[in-house]
Amino acid sequence: MLKPSAAGSVIYSERNYFYKTNQSNQVGLDSSSHTYTFYERNNYYNQTTGTSATGAAFPSSLLFPYSYSLNAVLDVPNIVQANAGPH
């Protein structure tokens, strides 16, 4: 569940791999007066069920104050399996 930490929160969800999840994206607000903005792009939903919140497309003018790189979304399961748990 996505839980905005305060009214006016902005959530960015990018290149996440959801596998056999139910209600993959849910937003929980502490108060009905709280608001949020939810953006998503290039997420992958494999065998998911239920109703999920749908994010808007990332704004074309969006600039983060830092750089980052992403793995290909279809590589995520192998990366997690190779690196999760004790080593």
Per residue in 27-43, pLDDT (tens digit) is 777 777 888 889 999 99
How big is the CA angle at 14 (ends 2 and 57), to the nearest 5 degrees? 90
Three-state DSSP state, 77: helix
Query: Does residue 2 sit within a domain?
Result: no
Quick: pLDDT tens for 47-69.
999 998 899 999 988 888 999 99
31 and 5 in contact (C-beta within 8 Å)? no
| Residue 4 is assigned to a structural domain of this protein | no
1 inside domain? no
- pTM score > 0.85 for this model? no
Write the DSSP string, 12-45.
EEES-EEES-BS-S-B--SSTT--EEEEEES-EE
Say if 26 falls within a structural domain: yes
Counting the structural domains of the chain, the total is 1
Which are the contacts of 84, defined by CB distance < 8 A and separation ≥ 6?
A: none
**Residue-number span of the structural domain to which 23 is assigned:** 9-57+67-83
Asked, for residue 42, whether it belongs to a domain, the answer is: yes
* Inside any domain, residue 62: no
User: What residue type is assigned to position 45 of the chain?
Assistant: Y
